[in-house]
């Protein structure tokens, strides 16, 4: 059985690289039972999206200047 700590590591790794089907399966099974990790996944995905949005905006502002 994987702990919430293992799952949170896999979830954050999954943002940067493609997980193997076994890892994705592990995460999915765990998320079905664990609200805490489901919320963690939602939050990390939201933060990642917001961060990307922010750097994109910054980049286009820099482009306009030059
Ligand atoms: Zn969990």
Local confidence band at 1 (pLDDT 50, 70, 90 cut-offs)? low
Residue 65 has pLDDT above 80, yes or no: no
Ligand 1: centre distance to CA 38 (Å): 7
* Confidence at residue 16, expressed as pLDDT on a 0 to 100 scale: 86
H-assigned helices in the chain: 4-16, 21-33, 35-65
Q: For residues 60 and 10, what is the distance between their CA atoms, to the nearest angstrom?
A: 32
Residues with CB under 5 A from ligand 1 (ion): 4, 34, 37
Ligand 1: centre distance to CA 18 (Å): 20
For 28-53, what is each residue's pLDDT tens digit?
999 999 999 999 999 999 999 999 89
What's the whole-model pTM score?
A: 0.76
Ligand 1: centre distance to CA 44 (Å): 14
């Amino acid at each position: 059985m994987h702990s919430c700590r293992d799952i949170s590591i896999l979830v954050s790794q999954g943002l940067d690289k493609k997980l193997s089907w076994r890892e994705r399966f592990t995460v999915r099974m765990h998320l079905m039972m664990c609200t805490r990790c489901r919320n963690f996944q939602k939050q990390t995905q939201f933060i990642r999206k917001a961060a990307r949005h922010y750097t994109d905006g910054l980049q286009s502002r820099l482009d306009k200047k030059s």
